[in-house]
Structure 1
Amino acid sequence: MKKWLIAGLSLICTSALANTTLIHNISGYTPTLKGATQSFSVLVVRDGKVVATGNDDMLKQFPEATRYDGHGKTLLPGLIDAHGHIIGLGNNLVELDLRGMTSIKQIGEKLKAYSDHFDGEWIVGRGWDQTLWSSQQFGSAADLDKYVGNRPVMLTRVDGHAIWVNSKAMQMAGIDEKTKAPEGGEIIYAGNHQPSGVFVDKAEELVRKHVPAASEHDVKRALNKASEHLLSLGITSAHDAGIDYTTWQVYQEQAKNKAIPIRIYAMLSASDPKLETMLKAGIIKDPNDHLSVRSVKIYADGALGSRGAALIDSYKDRPGHHGLMLETYDKLRELMRLSFKHGFSANTHAIGDKANRVVLDAYEAEFKKTGGKLLRNRIEHAQIVTPEDIPRFKSLDIIPSMQPVHATSDMHMAEKRLTDNQLAGGYAWQTFLKQGSKIAAGSDFPVELAEPFHGLFSAVTRQDPHGQPEQGWRAEEALSRDQALRAFTLDAAYAAFQEHKLGSLEKGKWADFILIDKDYFNVPALEIRDIQVDETWVAGQLVYKRMVQKDDK
């Protein structure tokens, strides 16, 4: 039988291609700045940039070019993930991964096995999701103590908006029944009015501040791990949604040394104590377009899964609870004003309908007072928006930065959390496009898997991996294949001020592209999710190749 293996990541060469390269025998597709998706069978690259696309007539026009046979495969522009967490992904690849665990017992056993071979002080993991358990209730410190009680454990929820810790961790953090949750955070209590071990949103910091900070070495390791993984999935550029000061320093050093394998558009974390220091350093634009830093990530509310998303009406499955605003209206305006002052865009996390409304109000007021409307500001997620607020994105020039796979992973949970009325403007991709908004699509890795074809599949079908529901969940908001590809390429590039350099294979732009094993535009919709990347090229150079190995029967 055949077994597919991922080859080791090829290092990007520092020298330019000696000759023009002509990739032929392909089914190529690219969105264009003019709008229409173009098809081609030949791509010509010189010095890392696109010279031309066309048909076999170009073989005669470039007789001296080095030819590369695409073996009839489909070629697309390199995919852009407009919202992810690169260092978080890298860490997730080396730390305790709890994604998909279906019970506390299963998590506990994996934690115990990990602990037996772990020689550090704090055990850190990520990926649990209580909505996958039969109880659908948060776990407790006592649940973790049964498996690891002699060292502190901190496990982050899959969405990053809650942590679950053991008793040793609470002891080291000095947390007891007298501890108060900060504004914008919640401590979940057990029946005896003691902290249960679960801390939501800003309450996480009560524990997190006691965990040793990542070193520059840790960040570099995570960057390399994540880059290798993303390139293997066909992602050549990623928007890093909220970096701290250490990561900001490492990214600049690595860019200077030409040691960033992918392209990164990084947003400064508004919660970092050194935000102003980073802003005063100004916009960072690497001449090779491997690093761009010109925006700030602001956090308005929590997440739907942990009931931290801020809602106008209360949660259907928790009456009286409206979620959490992580910043006040005045603080949001202050952070926007600070960003605009330094020429940085303000990209604000908002999931619930209340958070989206408050954030839109803050943008509108700040635009009138200080300007900044032309900075391509974004709302990250824009998941639950009232129908009357959706047009405000267009009138205020706010880009909805949305993650299609969230809709299909959230749909069952969302219907438990929210009423039909609250969902009326939920995950409303087609509505946004019809009013003229550009959608910057991503995955929110490592909250979701970084797999971009999972996102493209969700965008087109609004179905789970098994093709359910048969007609798609709220199918009127599904995207066409053209629209979905554009959201993961050219419109994502637009959201980073890079549409004239990235996102499509047009003359003069970087030759970032992928070869895939199926024709995205012509396979049955259910097969989009399973498309595999055979090759990834960045600036006209092959940086990843999937190999085939035949096993003996």
Structure 2
Amino acid sequence: MLATSKINLRLSITILIACAFELILQAQQADQVFYNGKILIVDSNFSVAEAVAVKSGRISAVGSIAELSSRLGPSTERFDLKGRTVIPGLIDNHMHYMRGASRWRFEARIDGVTSRAEALKLIAAKAKAVGPGNWVFVLGGWSEQQFADRPGGFTEKELDVAAPDNPVFIQKSYTRAYMNGLAAERLSRSSRISPSGRSQERTRGSSGGRSFSTREIISRATQFLPQRSGSERAEDVAFFNSVLNRYGLTAVYDVGRASDGDFTPVEELAKRNDLTVRVFHSLRYRANNSREADEAVSLINASKPYGNNDWFGLIGMGEHIYNPAHDSSMRSSIFGDEIWNEFEKLARAAAEGGWHIHEHAMQDSTASKILDIAEGLNKEHSMHELRWTIAHCDLISRENIERAKKLGLTLAVHNKTAKPVIEGRDSPPISWMQESGIVWGLGSDGAVVSTVNPFHTLWWVTSGKVFPDEVSIRTPVSREDALIAHTRSNAYLMFKEKDLGSLEIGKWADMIVLDRDYLTVPVDEIREITPVQTILGGRLVFDVEK
């Protein structure tokens, strides 16, 4: 009897050990394994691996094919990368996302198109797609100098030829607008704006003694965009996300305005698990004067920062915490004490509440004043913890880069391939940033003032050129440093460094399979790189073959 009991005990222990071992094997077994690739991990060593394993949407192992063979199980999906290069999902640290999502479906986009003839073909194709009588819009992302065959703005005649049966309205940033005869006629009827507002030389229209600025003309033209229901807005967001996935974007930070639209459609998609881009945003409010600034302070005090999860939500404040402190690299922008006092009031409320600020500063004088305020607040509120970001940095000095680094601030640089070259200096001075060791990241500032394609941005900072082929930055950065800036550094800027930005173990499996090798193609081909697949949390969200 005793012997039988011992045998049964040994058998039970053996079964338990076998079951435990089986559970361990199941825990190690990957949901997906991506192998036979050149996988750029973008860790601190810029490691390259042959394969990565994914479990529950996160990277569970990195290494050679042989090293990951133990992760394979009967239910593991296996993806042969066929030698292609893989990089982490690209992160845009500064996009006007909701504005782009609400408009993209109705636009002909000519971002990065260096042939005027090709741009007109795209406009004609959009007119054919929407049908006679419907509006065709090009709402930014391009510039007159990008056409190698014939630079310059569009004439009414060539737009009439491209789309004889459709009103066509073309916006160049916020400074110029072009339109065909039908668009001018409709605008004139609806708003009494004279057709004189439609040419490059005459970007101000007039009627009845009143002068209309280009911004007013743009505002009136965009009123012809279709009004959308709640469900249609969700469809528009999903459509825009599919465009961003096609470009290799997997996360964005929307630093836009309340007028760009609320985030209800994004929340709806998140609840349905239908988001294919991780969408984070800044706090929305108006602050154009002292009264509105006081109201904003009350909102800041009543709100909490970092109200987000892995997919969606609030991070901090910006890009204009006080709108009158809005500068430009194209003109001198010196603000008086009355403006900076209101700015500091909002900045103090932010620091006291633990808020991150992402603030627009193109001129060095603006950056200097922001740093003055940050240094004063740093005595009571650690900037190393708040990680405030100075954005754009077009004309920032070495001195202010060093001041920002000492405080623990970060810098955000945004695509200028559709902006004129600033003669005599690098704008922005990315080599100074890289040499200083400060954390700096790349974004688009799309979709009006620039292209949203991140490979256009990577080409810009590695070649130093803007479209079509003009040198803008004389001292560009390496491909490795540029990729870090568009991935790992941006994750840090957005307080997501534990989950995003590289393909290290434990982070979300957000990655892109490329059609060519980012590290070895001629530098001018970087702008032509196209993702073959985009993977978000281990899930395929874009496949060029499908």
TM-score by length of 1: 0.73
Q: 2:253 aligns with which of 226, 239, 242?
A: 239
C-alpha separation in 1, matches of 2:152 and 2:239 = 33
C-alpha separation in 2, matches of 1:513 and 1:137 = 38
C-alpha separation in 2, matches of 1:170 and 1:234 = 41
The aligned counterpart of 1:55 is 64
2:171, 2:218 within 8 Å by CA — same for their partners in 1?
Answer: no
2:322, 2:343 within 8 Å by CA — same for their partners in 1?
Answer: no
Change (3 A) 1:92 1:57: same
The aligned counterpart of 1:126 is 139
1:497 Cα deviation (Å)? 0.5
Change (3 A) 1:363 1:286: closer
C-alpha separation in 1, matches of 2:327 and 2:137 = 25
TM-score by length of 2: 0.73
1:20 Cα deviation (Å)? 3.0
Aligned residues: percent identity? 22
1:40 Cα deviation (Å)? 0.7
1:45 Cα deviation (Å)? 1.0
1:215 Cα deviation (Å)? 5.4
Change (3 A) 1:431 1:92: same
1:24 Cα deviation (Å)? 1.3
C-alpha separation in 2, matches of 1:195 and 1:136 = 28
The aligned counterpart of 2:302 is 280
Matched, 1:434 2:439: no
**Secondary structure in 2 aligned to 1:486?**
helix
1 or 2, which has the higher helix percentage? Answer: 2
Residue by residue over 1:13-35, the C-alpha shift from the partner in whole angstroms, topping out at 9 and shown as x without a partner, is xxx99953222111111111xx2
**Secondary structure in 2 aligned to 1:389?**
helix
1:373 Cα deviation (Å)? 5.4
The aligned counterpart of 1:504 is 502
Matched, 1:349 2:347: no
Residue by residue over 1:1-24, the C-alpha shift from the partner in whole angstroms, topping out at 9 and shown as x without a partner, is xxxxxxxxxxxxxxx999532221
Change (3 A) 1:37 1:137: closer
Please show how residues 415-454 of structure 1 align to structure 2 within 5 Å. Answer: 415=422, 420=424, 423=425, 426-446=427-447, 447-454=449-456
Q: How many residues align?
A: 488
Matched, 1:459 2:461: yes
1:270, 1:297 within 8 Å by CA — same for their partners in 2?
Answer: no
C-alpha separation in 1, matches of 2:302 and 2:401 = 34
The aligned counterpart of 1:479 is 477
The aligned counterpart of 2:411 is 400
Q: 1:267 aligns with which of 268, 282, 292?
A: 282
Q: 1:258 aligns with which of 273, 278, 281?
A: 273
Change (3 A) 1:210 1:372: farther
Residue by residue over 1:39-87, the C-alpha shift from the partner in whole angstroms, topping out at 9 and shown as x without a partner, is 1111111111111101122244224262322222111111112222222
The CA RMSD over aligned residues, in Å, is 4.7
Matched, 1:293 2:314: yes
What residue ranges of structure 1 are gaps of 5+ in the alignment? Answer: 1-15, 177-186, 303-307, 316-320, 549-553
C-alpha separation in 1, matches of 2:531 and 2:65 = 24
2:462, 2:523 within 8 Å by CA — same for their partners in 1?
Answer: yes
1:538 Cα deviation (Å)? 0.9
1:173, 1:210 within 8 Å by CA — same for their partners in 2?
Answer: no
Change (3 A) 1:324 1:144: farther
1:393 Cα deviation (Å)? 2.1
Change (3 A) 1:162 1:400: farther
**Secondary structure in 2 aligned to 1:50?**
strand
The aligned counterpart of 2:239 is 225
Please show how residues 508-519 of structure 1 align to structure 2 within 5 Å. Answer: 508-519=506-517
- Residue 525 of structure 1 aligns with an amino acid whose one-letter code is V
1:243, 1:269 within 8 Å by CA — same for their partners in 2?
Answer: yes
C-alpha separation in 1, matches of 2:521 and 2:154 = 41
Residue by residue over 1:108-143, the C-alpha shift from the partner in whole angstroms, topping out at 9 and shown as x without a partner, is x979969995878x9865127466798979999xx9
The aligned counterpart of 2:332 is 322
1:330 Cα deviation (Å)? 2.2
1 or 2, which has the higher strand percentage? Answer: 1
The aligned counterpart of 2:9 is none
- Residue 234 of structure 1 aligns with an amino acid whose one-letter code is G
C-alpha separation in 1, matches of 2:367 and 2:132 = 42
Residue by residue over 1:398-431, the C-alpha shift from the partner in whole angstroms, topping out at 9 and shown as x without a partner, is 211112x41x443xx233xxx53xx3x6211121
The aligned counterpart of 2:528 is 530
2:466, 2:472 within 8 Å by CA — same for their partners in 1?
Answer: no
C-alpha separation in 2, matches of 1:528 and 1:217 = 37
1:480 Cα deviation (Å)? 1.0
C-alpha separation in 2, matches of 1:540 and 1:113 = 38
1:441 Cα deviation (Å)? 0.8
Change (3 A) 1:92 1:36: same
Instruction: Tell me which moved more, 365-374 or 505-514.
Output: 365-374
C-alpha separation in 1, matches of 2:120 and 2:339 = 39
1:460 Cα deviation (Å)? 1.3
1:545 Cα deviation (Å)? 0.9
The aligned counterpart of 2:55 is 46
The aligned counterpart of 1:492 is 490
